[in-house]
Structure 1
Amino acid sequence: MPNSFRSIGLIARATAVIGNQLFTSDDLQNSQFIYLMRIVETPGITQTQLANQLHVDPSTCLRTVRKLIAHQYVARQTDEHNKKQRPLVATAQGQALYPELQAYEQHILAIGTHGLSAGEQLILEELLGKVANNIQEYQTTQNE
Structure 2
Amino acid sequence: MPIITRELNVLARCGNQFRGERLKALSLTAAQAPYILHICTRPGRSQEELAAALHVNPSNAARQLARLCELGFITREAHPHDKRQLAVYPTQKAQDAFPLVRGVNAQWHDYLTAEMTEEEKAQLEVLLEKLRRRAALWNETRGDLP
TM-score of the superposition, structure 2-length normalised? 0.89
CA-CA distance at 1:140 after TM superposition: 3.2
RMSD: 1.8
Return the alpha-carbon distance in structure 2 between the equivalents of residues 86 and 140 of structure 1.
22
Aligned residues: 144
Say which is worse superposed, 62-71 or 32-41, in terms of deviation.
Answer: 32-41
Within 5 Å, give how 1:1-144 maps onto structure 2.
2-29=2-29, 31-142=31-142
Return the alpha-carbon distance in structure 1 between the equivalents of residues 122 and 70 of structure 2.
39
Q: Select the structure that is richer in strand.
A: 2
CA-CA distance at 1:139 after TM superposition: 3.1
- Residues 1:57 and 1:81: Cα distance change in structure 2 (over 3 Å): closer
Return the alpha-carbon distance in structure 2 between the equivalents of residues 56 and 62 of structure 1.
10
One-letter identity of the residue aligned with 2:76: R
Unaligned runs of 5+ in 2: none
Return the alpha-carbon distance in structure 1 between the equivalents of residues 92 and 139 of structure 2.
36
Unaligned runs of 5+ in 1: none
TM-score of the superposition, structure 1-length normalised? 0.90
Return the alpha-carbon distance in structure 1 between the equivalents of residues 41 and 57 of structure 2.
21
Structure 1's consecutive aligned runs of 4 or more residues displaced over 3 angstroms after TM superposition are none
CA-CA distance at 1:30 after TM superposition: 5.3
CA-CA distance at 1:66 after TM superposition: 0.3
Return the alpha-carbon distance in structure 2 between the equivalents of residues 43 and 143 of structure 1.
31
